[in-house]
Amino acid sequence: MSTNRRLRTYMPWGKNVLVWIISLITIAPLILIVINSLKDSAQASSMGMDLPTSLHFSNFKTVFEQGKLAGSLWNSVLYAGVSTILCVLLASMAAYVYARRKSRLNRFSYLFMLLGLAMPLNYFTLMKMMQLLHLVNSQLGIIILYAAVQIPLSVFILYGFVGGVPKELDEAGIIDGCGPIRLFFDIIFPLLKPAAVTVFILAFLNSWNEFLLPLYFLNSASQWPMTLSVYNFFGQFQMQWNLVSADIVLTSLPVVIVYLLGQRFIIAGMTAGSVKG
Amino acid sequence: MRKAVGILAAVGLTLGLLAGCGSSSNESSSKEPASSGTGTTKTDNTQTSGTTKQNVTLTYMASQDWIKDSEMQLAKKFEEQTGIHIDFQIVPADQYQNLLKVKLNSKEAPDIFGGQDGKFDLGPLYDVEKNAVDLTAEEWTKRENKLFLEQATWNDKVYALTVWDPTYDYYVVYNKQIFDKLGLKVPTTYSEFLAVCEAIKQSGVTPIYEPVSDGWHHVLWFPSIGPKFEEANPGLVDKLNNNELKVADVPIMEQALTQFNELVKKGYMGESYFSNTFADTEKNMASGKFAMTVHNLGLPQTIEAAFPDTKADQFGYFPIPLVDNQLMNIAPAAPSKFIYSGSKHIEEAKKYFQFLTQQENLQYFLDNEPRFLSLDFEGINGHFTPEQQKFFDTYGAKQGSGLQMTAKYVNPQWMDIGKDMSAMISGAMEPKDILKNMDKRREEQAKAAKDSAWQ
Amino acid sequence: MNNKTYPYYFSLGAMLLYVLLLVIPGVAGIAYAFTDWNSYDSAVHFIGLDNFRKVFSGENMYVSFIKNTLIFTIATIVLKTVIGFFLALLVNKGVRFRNFHRAVMFMPAVVPMLIVGLIFKSVLHPDTGLLNEFLLTIGLGFLAQHWLTDLNFAFKSIIGVDVWKGAGYIMVILLAGLQSIPKDYDEAAEIDGAGYWRRIWNITIPLLMPALTVTLVLNMLYGLKVFDTVYVLTNGGPGYATEVLFTGVFKEFSMGRYGLGTALSTVLFVFMTIIGYFVVKVMSREEDSH
């Protein structure tokens, strides 16, 4: 018994040290970028771990102005944000129905949708389809395409989680007189929040880093998202690792912020609380 | 009732989005508001009198590194004068060919597209007769270097504008200080080269900086000495292009690869050649730890720009000396600009080309592009340093082009040759195998292209 | 009651987008696998199974590409799942600055692969790289390697970098799974006197099964389709030692042999579909037995 108690007292301490070590290992290569984003171009040319001789915060300003990041930042937020909301909404509705009622049609639909996880993209035929739907060279078109691409993965992840929400809640809701729409949006969806937020974060991340779709389906640099601007930037400043690093920092930051904001909504024990309450 | 609402929520939303954006799509960037400086209309119009301001945006897509900074500045001037805005779209090099193919195929190509020209490639790669505008009648074609023009011509018509440096090819750049200190002379044969490398290695300096990790650079050692191959076997290129000869049956080519392998094996390229990167060339050459590298003539200038302590004039040049090569290779095929035949703004695009090729603009382009020494147009003043001038005086009398420009189906397999050469220096392949693979890939491509010589 | 409570039209929006923008273009694209479509000829001809014959004939080293792909897939599944699971346990509770650590561990997933390649090419450089310098400093210089260019280490290094980048992603999914496990189960078991690891094994893992299956399938699909990591770190080198299937596909495409490239990716698609089918089958059987 005493070992158990000792474990209990020391465990958190040991755990904390361990977590710090892992975090440091994880972040070391990333610190490299931050350090280099503050150097001048000669010092940054070797991308070394040495500290900057003097701090050049002006790199960030240069990047923001030269890289025309303001416009593409807005584009990225728009494309990734709207498409992810659309995707999470449609995917959670679909996953909910597929997981709750396992009719032959629903089972088939679910498996059919999983095929999308492995389906190879073909830009030639996709271009034809996009033209047919009048979605080429339009911002709405790219948003819809982003959402479509993320749907199979999102349905797949959400499907696994819907099972965790007790079916008794549905029955209680029906007894209370809810229709299917109110049942889903008022009762089920709030309980799916941890999963929905996870899917949101992952889909947002994928959309944010999407690179080839805008390249193929947007025909104007003013509509390009951050990822492509970064490339434009590489082309112009490929020797200047300090600017490239600053650009990377600015590009990665928004997704980290989304993650930090998002995880506050993954609140522990929601289901348990609801069952008890 | 509820069901109807639900359908509205799920399907209707989607359909609504689909329908809603129909109107905004498909009207290419032409109606994009040109955010040009409107205040300066009068003052700049002196040169192009008679032109009225147009509110037009030209889309211009090119691979990384093809559009120089100085061209972007010229484009700004062009916009001030004409109101025509150029929307530059720079695409990663490894995606470019596929992307261009998709866009040409689906008739979504930009008004101007970049492409590596080459007299064998214009038809097969870009289908210029269908996709590009005939530029033969343009005035600037008369001023362009004939060798370059030939590479932009298909069936007697000019399809592309090339503004590039004719001396932009690869040679050995060497550190004169190291050579002087060790009392070494510029080698003129392969055996002299070996002796030079050995002496440098003995002194504790790595003789050659070779960035194999980029995949393309170490290939330069081989096709660049094409003029020497041709000199040793007159008519070689014609025979290769008529499929009367295989590269595997050309002894001097095998010898060149064997010698490259020998340089690596003897440690003349150090230990870390597989990890070295092209982008680090300046740093390493400035450090004095390496004596030579294969690079453009502009390297010493970019070294000095990045590391002011190392002066440009301490470097000299000589041709790649494998198989006793002493001939100067030049590269007339280069990134070029095409006008898309389906563009709504062909006249504006032509105007842009005319603007770029005005004498003072060409000069401006050259003066502001540190990597270029001269241009492929008449009457442009080059910027040769004494060292570069000396190089031209010594080797310039006998010129020729690398194998990738003269022989068909070599350039497209550049990276594959690179892989094979890496396999050779890691011991997994013999020089002869590399040549056999080259023949195999040439045959595959020729057949795919329905080349009559291979049927 | 089922029909009315869980109406099929809920799923129509997702299905519509999916069919229009993924299935139809994807299936139509697969048709090209049976043609000689290439960049040097504007006409496309039907050539039956010729492309598939070429893939399986063994002359283009695709067999070794397939082997590498499988090794990569299995290694990353095991490593990412195990590491991701422990990371999730670690930062789930009982740690200070939880949010900070979670964000840090997730961060590698955020950085574009291109950049990761850039960083690790520098970190793993044999002469100037951080890793070898670190090993030298702590007196373990004999462990220093040519990480990305030595035939014995190149592929292991690729796997290592990929795990570094992907473990945080897996952690996020598993963390969400952990969070939705009702606390009462764990508390009840603790009162019964079950130790920490026993509770993990008997309670946490079984309840985490849906999330674990999700990560298994994701890791598997990712592993079989792996491209970026290899491309940016070694581009398949030295020689062809680290080539995987999708670098092969990419090579065919960049050579302009679209027909053959499509055939190769079709083979992979069929393969993934078969494996995926069995995994989902097994998974849903388990679920039903619960």
> Which pLDDT value is given to residue C74?
95
A176-A177-A181-A184 Cα dihedral, nearest 10 degrees: 20
Three-class secondary structure of residue B234 per DSSP: coil
Contact list in C for residue A109 (CB cut-off 8 A) is 11, 15
Answer yes or no: do A122 and A20 share one domain.
no
Tokens standing for residue C133: 């310098």
> Which pLDDT value is given to residue C287?
56
A8 band by pLDDT with thresholds 50, 70 and 90: low
Phi/psi of residue B66, nearest 5 degrees:
-85, -30
Q: Is C146 on the interface with B (CB under 8 A)?
A: yes
Whether residues C179 and A194 touch (CB distance < 8 A) is answered with yes
Whether residues C172 and A100 touch (CB distance < 8 A) is answered with no
Least confident window among A58-72, A74-88, A231-245:
A231-245
Q: Do A159 and C59 form a contact (C-beta atoms < 8 A)?
A: no
A66 located within any domain:
yes
Tokens standing for residue B101: 């193919």
C197 band by pLDDT with thresholds 50, 70 and 90: confident
Answer yes or no: do A15 and A137 share one domain.
no
Q: Is B448 on the interface with C (CB under 8 A)?
A: yes
> Which pLDDT value is given to residue B17?
42
The amino acid sitting at B387 is E
CATH assignment of B171-328+408-454, among 3.40.50.620, 3.40.50.2000, 1.25.40.20, 3.40.190.10 = 3.40.190.10
Average pLDDT over residues C11-20: 94
Contact list in A for residue B307 (CB cut-off 8 A) is 42
- Please give the distance of CA A172 from its chain centroid, rounded to a whole number: 34
Three-class secondary structure of residue C108 per DSSP: helix
Whether residues A138 and B9 touch (CB distance < 8 A) is answered with no
Answer yes or no: do A24 and A73 share one domain.
no
Say whether pTM exceeds 0.80: no
Residue of B nearest to C39 (CA): B125
The amino acid sitting at B101 is K
The pLDDT of residue A81 is above 80: yes
Task: Write the pLDDT tens digit of every residue in B136-157.
Answer: 999 999 999 888 898 999 999 9
Phi/psi of residue B414, nearest 5 degrees:
-50, -50
Answer yes or no: do A102 and A237 share one domain.
yes
The pLDDT of residue C139 is above 50: yes
Distance, CA of A13 to CA of A26 (rounded, Å): 20
Task: Write the pLDDT tens digit of every residue in B149-183.
Answer: 989 999 999 999 999 988 888 999 999 999 999 99
Tokens standing for residue A60: 């960030």
Q: Which ranges of B396-430 would DSSP assign to H, the alpha helix?
A: 403-406, 414-425
From the CB of residue C78, how many other CB atoms can be counted at a distance below 10 Å?
A: 12
Q: How many CB pairs under 8 A join A and C?
A: 265
A49 located within any domain:
no
The continuous run of DSSP H or E covering C117 comes out as helix C113-123
> Which pLDDT value is given to residue B134?
96
The pLDDT of residue B108 is above 70: yes
| β partners of residue B386 | none
Distance, CA of A154 to CA of C128 (rounded, Å): 42
Q: Do C64 and C53 form a contact (C-beta atoms < 8 A)?
A: no
Distance, CA of C171 to CA of C178 (rounded, Å): 10
| β partners of residue B292 | B174, B208
A50 located within any domain:
no
The pLDDT of residue A89 is above 60: yes
> Which pLDDT value is given to residue B317?
95
> Which pLDDT value is given to residue A10?
54
> Which pLDDT value is given to residue B75?
94
245-274 of A, contacting C, C-beta below 8 A: 248, 251-252, 255-256, 259-260, 263-264, 266-272
Contact list in B for residue A41 (CB cut-off 8 A) is 306
Q: What residues make up the domain containing A238?
A: 59-276
> Which pLDDT value is given to residue B76?
93
Interface test with C, best of B3, B128, B214, B419 (most C CBs within 10 A): B419
Distance, CA of B425 to CA of B250 (rounded, Å): 21
Burial of C104 (0-12, 13-18, 19+ CB in 10 A): buried
Q: Which ranges of chain C would DSSP assign to H, the alpha helix?
A: 2-5, 12-18, 24-30, 50-56, 62-92, 98-110, 113-123, 130-137, 154-179, 183-191, 196-199, 205-224, 228-233, 245-254, 258-289
Answer yes or no: do A146 and A192 share one domain.
yes
Answer yes or no: do A19 and A73 share one domain.
no
For chain B, the average pLDDT equals 85
Three-class secondary structure of residue B399 per DSSP: strand
Answer yes or no: do A245 and A117 share one domain.
yes
Whether residues C28 and A125 touch (CB distance < 8 A) is answered with yes
> Which pLDDT value is given to residue C261?
86
Three-class secondary structure of residue B315 per DSSP: strand
Contact list in C for residue A238 (CB cut-off 8 A) is none
Average pLDDT over residues C57-73: 83
Answer yes or no: do A113 and A212 share one domain.
yes
Task: Write the pLDDT tens digit of every residue in B185-206.
Answer: 999 999 999 999 999 999 999 9
CA dihedral for C145, C149, C150, C151, sign (positive or negative): positive
Q: Where are the domains of chain B?
A: 2-167+332-393, 171-328+408-454
Q: Is A48 on the interface with C (CB under 8 A)?
A: yes
B39 band by pLDDT with thresholds 50, 70 and 90: very low
**Residue that is written with structure tokens 């291109």 in the block:** C114
Q: How many Å lie between the alpha carbon of A23 and the closest alpha carbon of chain B? A: 28
The pLDDT of residue B238 is above 70: yes
Residue A210's nearest CA partner among B206, B18, C112 is C112
Interface test with C, best of A23, A33, A174, A271 (most C CBs within 10 A): A23
Q: Is B354 on the interface with C (CB under 8 A)?
A: no
Q: Is B272 on the interface with C (CB under 8 A)?
A: yes
B2-167+332-393 maps to which CATH number? 3.40.190.10
Q: Which of B21, B89, B102 sits opposite A134 (nearest CB)?
A: B21
Q: How many Å lie between the alpha carbon of B65 and the closest alpha carbon of chain A? A: 6
Whether residues B18 and A127 touch (CB distance < 8 A) is answered with no
The pLDDT of residue B27 is above 50: no
Residue B279's nearest CA partner among B368, B373, B216, B220 is B216
Per the structure, how many domains does chain A have? 2
Contact list in C for residue A260 (CB cut-off 8 A) is 99, 103
Q: How many Å lie between the alpha carbon of A140 and the closest alpha carbon of chain B? A: 6
Q: Which of B94, B423, B445 sits opposite C240 (nearest CB)?
A: B423
Q: Do A213 and A145 form a contact (C-beta atoms < 8 A)?
A: yes
Task: Write the pLDDT tens digit of every residue in B280-308.
Answer: 898 899 999 999 999 999 899 889 988 88
What is the per-residue burial (b if ≥16 Cβ within 10 Å, else e) of C105-131? Answer: bbbbbbbbbbbbbbbbbbbbbbebbbb
Higher-confidence residue of B152 and B447: namely B152
For chain C, the average pLDDT equals 84
B30 band by pLDDT with thresholds 50, 70 and 90: very low
Whether residues C105 and A259 touch (CB distance < 8 A) is answered with no
Whether residues B306 and A45 touch (CB distance < 8 A) is answered with yes
Domains of chain C by start residue, with CATH: 33-289 (1.10.3720.10)
Q: Do B361 and B153 form a contact (C-beta atoms < 8 A)?
A: no
Contact list in C for residue B445 (CB cut-off 8 A) is 40, 255-256
Distance, CA of B21 to CA of C83 (rounded, Å): 45
> Which pLDDT value is given to residue B20?
39
Distance, CA of A76 to CA of B216 (rounded, Å): 33
Query: What's A211's domain CATH number?
Result: 1.10.3720.10
Answer yes or no: do A69 and A188 share one domain.
yes
A54 located within any domain:
no
Whether residues B275 and C146 touch (CB distance < 8 A) is answered with yes
Average pLDDT over residues B241-254: 94
Average pLDDT over residues C192-206: 84
> Which pLDDT value is given to residue C2?
63
State what percent of residues in chain C have pLDDT above 90. Answer: 20
Q: How many Å lie between the alpha carbon of B355 and the closest alpha carbon of chain C? A: 33
Contact list in C for residue B215 (CB cut-off 8 A) is 235, 237
Average pLDDT over residues A22-38: 87
Three-class secondary structure of residue A216 per DSSP: helix
Q: Is B15 on the interface with A (CB under 8 A)?
A: no
Average pLDDT over residues C224-239: 84
A111 located within any domain:
yes
A209-A214-A216-A220 Cα dihedral, nearest 10 degrees: -140
The pLDDT of residue B44 is above 50: no
> Which pLDDT value is given to residue C9?
87
- Please give the distance of CA B152 from its chain centroid, rounded to a whole number: 14
Beta strands in B349-408 (DSSP E): 399-401
The region that residue B65 occupies, defined by phi over 0 for left and psi between -120 and 50 for alpha, beta otherwise, is left
> Which pLDDT value is given to residue A239?
61
A84 located within any domain:
yes
